[in-house]
Amino acid sequence: MRVGRAIAEELGRAGATVAVHYARSGNGARATERAIRAAGGRARIFSADLRAADAATALVHAVTAWAGRLDVLVCSAAGFDRRPFEQIDGQAWNDMLALNLEAPFRLAQAAAPELRRRRGVIVNILDVAAFHAWTGYAHYAAAKAGLAMVTRVLALELAPRVRVCGVAPGTVAFPADYPAADRARVLSRIPLRRVGRPADVAGAVRFLCGASYITGSVVMVDGGRSAGSGTDVL
Ligand SMILES: NC(=O)c1ccc[n+]([C@@H]2O[C@H](COP(=O)([O-])OP(=O)(O)OC[C@H]3O[C@@H](n4cnc5c(N)ncnc54)[C@H](OP(=O)(O)O)[C@@H]3O)[C@@H](O)[C@H]2O)c1
């Protein structure tokens, strides 16, 4: 199980009606929907390629029309792509920024009126890479750093009615093709000496949803990886 599903199921268990978004993984989304319903919750799947210009607005409208309200917006969908700086061409840059930075921004814009009415909350899923420099991820890190700043700015702009928070995971689920040697290297840099689980991120999201005096804050869920100076993060 990866992060988006863990969050959806956690919020379903907490009693939320859950709109499960997917782009290509229809089977995974349907399995998530079934799991939430089996646990007694209410869920429905919605498909959108969030790189498309009007996709965020259409998604928020479709979800709100179905559920009748919107209290929580969790932005977890993202691309992850390792490539050297010289090989980040225009397409790779634009795709990364469109999905990882502009899409959460547009989702927040589209959801803001309803979230104001409901005194709702936005939780953006960041990454420790938003705060620490890694080689090989310039476009990914720039997008996540941008989203960290958007989180703080929106916390001010949408206050006092809407809270805006972030969760910054360290490693909680390796990409399937992540090399074994790199996995060992990552592990050696985590003070708790283990990778986290998607459920750790989901628990932080659930906590922030109920944390009525927290806004503009980012919870690091990284086993202590970012606790040091940052030079040992890679
Ligand atoms: N995994 C980790 O250890 C880790 C560490 C730090 C931060 N994070 C952050 O946590 C979040 C989830 O991570 P993950 O590893 O679970 O990610 P993942 O498995 O790669 O899932 C990313 C999600 O983004 C969606 N997506 C991809 N392209 C899309 C598009 N064009 N339009 C809309 N949605 C699209 C995918 O939907 P489909 O599958 O339906 O296409 C997928 O559900 C991300 O924001 C990631 O940056 C993860």
Q: Map out the domains of the chain with their CATH numbers.
A: 3-221 (3.40.50.720)
Residue 59 Ramachandran class (φ > 0 left, ψ -120 to 50 alpha, else beta): alpha
Q: How far apart (Å, rounded) are the C-alpha atoms in residues 165 and 201?
A: 13
Rounded Cα gap, residues 144 and 15, in angstroms: 29
The span from the CA of 224 to the CA of 128, in Å, is 10
Work out which ligand 1 atom sits closest to the CA atom of 100. Answer: 45
Average confidence (pLDDT) over 119-133 = 97
- Euclidean distance between CA atoms 82 and 91, whole angstroms: 14
Q: What is the pLDDT, as a whole number, of residue 175?
A: 82
Q: Indicate the pLDDT class of residue 182, thresholds 50, 70 and 90.
A: confident
Tokens 């989901």 belong to residue: 202
What mean pLDDT is predicted for residues 186-203? Answer: 94
Whole-Å CA distances, 220 to 61, 87, 226: 31, 30, 8
Q: Is the pLDDT of residue 231 over 70?
A: no
**Ligand 1 centre distance from Cα of residue 78 (Å):** 4
Segment 173-186 shows an average pLDDT of: 87
CA 22 / ligand 1 centre spacing (Å): 10
Active site residues: 140
Pocket probe for ligand 1: among 1, 3, 27, 139, the residue whose CB has the most ligand atoms within 8 Å is 3
Q: Please state the length of the chain.
A: 234
Q: Kindly state the helix (H) or strand (E) to which residue 219 belongs, with its residue range.
A: strand 218-221
Report the share of the chain in percent with pLDDT over 90.
Answer: 88
Q: For the chain, what is the mean pLDDT? A: 95
Closest C-alpha residue for ligand 1 atom 46: 78
Q: Is the peptide bond before 160 cis (omega within 30 degrees of 0)?
A: yes
How many angstroms separate the CA atoms of 81 and 137, rounded? 7
Compute, in angstroms, the gap from residue 80 CA to the centroid of ligand 1: 7
